Structure 1
Amino acid sequence: MVELNLIAGVARTGAIGDGETIPWHYDADERQYKDRVADHPVVVGRKTHQGMTRIRGTHPVVVTGSPEEYEEADATFVSTVADAVEAVAAEGTTGWVIGGQSIYAMFLPYADRAFVSELPERQVASRVFPYLGTHWSVERRHAYDQFDVVEYRNEAPLDPADAPA
Structure 2
Amino acid sequence: MKLSLMAAKSKQGIIGNGPDIPWRAKGEQLLFKAMTYNQWLLVGRKTFESMGALPNRQYAVVTRSDFTSTDENVFVFSSIEDALAQLDTMTNHVIVADGGELYASLITQVDTLHISIMDIEPDGDIFFPMIPDTFTLVFEQGFESNINYTYQIWQKSQ
Quick check: which one's helix share is greater? Answer: 1
Q: Which of 150, 153, 164 does residue 152 from structure 2 map onto?
A: 150
The one-letter amino acid paired with 1:154 is K
Q: State the secondary structure of the residue aligned to 1:25.
A: coil
Task: List alignment gaps of at least 5 residues for structure 1.
Answer: 157-165
1: CA distance, partners of 2:49 / 2:141? 30
TM-score normalised according to structure 1 size: 0.85
Q: Tell me, yes or no, if structure 1 residue 70 matches structure 2 residue 68.
A: yes
Q: Which residues of 2 match residues 106-121 of structure 1 at below 5 A? A: 106-121=105-120
Structure 1 segments (4+ residues) deviating >6 Å: none
Q: Which residues of 2 match residues 27-38 of structure 1 at below 5 A? A: 27-38=26-37
Contact 1:59 1:91 in 2 (8 A): no
Q: Which residues of 2 match residues 86-165 of structure 1 at below 5 A? A: 86-145=85-144, 146-155=148-157
Contact 1:40 1:91 in 2 (8 A): no
- Give deviations 1:85-109, integer Å, cap 9, x for gaps: 2343344321111111111111112
Aligned-residue sequence identity (percent) comes to: 21
The one-letter amino acid paired with 2:133 is T
The one-letter amino acid paired with 1:70 is T
The alignment's C-alpha RMSD in Å is 1.8
1: CA distance, partners of 2:63 / 2:157? 28
Contact 2:22 2:123 in 1 (8 A): no
Task: List alignment gaps of at least 5 residues for structure 2.
Answer: none
1: CA distance, partners of 2:89 / 2:95? 14
1:79 Cα offset (Å) = 2.7
1:78 Cα offset (Å) = 1.4
Worse-superposed segment, 13-22 or 47-56? 47-56
TM-score normalised according to structure 2 size: 0.88
Contact 1:41 1:91 in 2 (8 A): no
Quick check: which one's strand share is greater? Answer: 2
Question: Which residue matches 1:13?
Answer: 12
Contact 2:108 2:132 in 1 (8 A): no
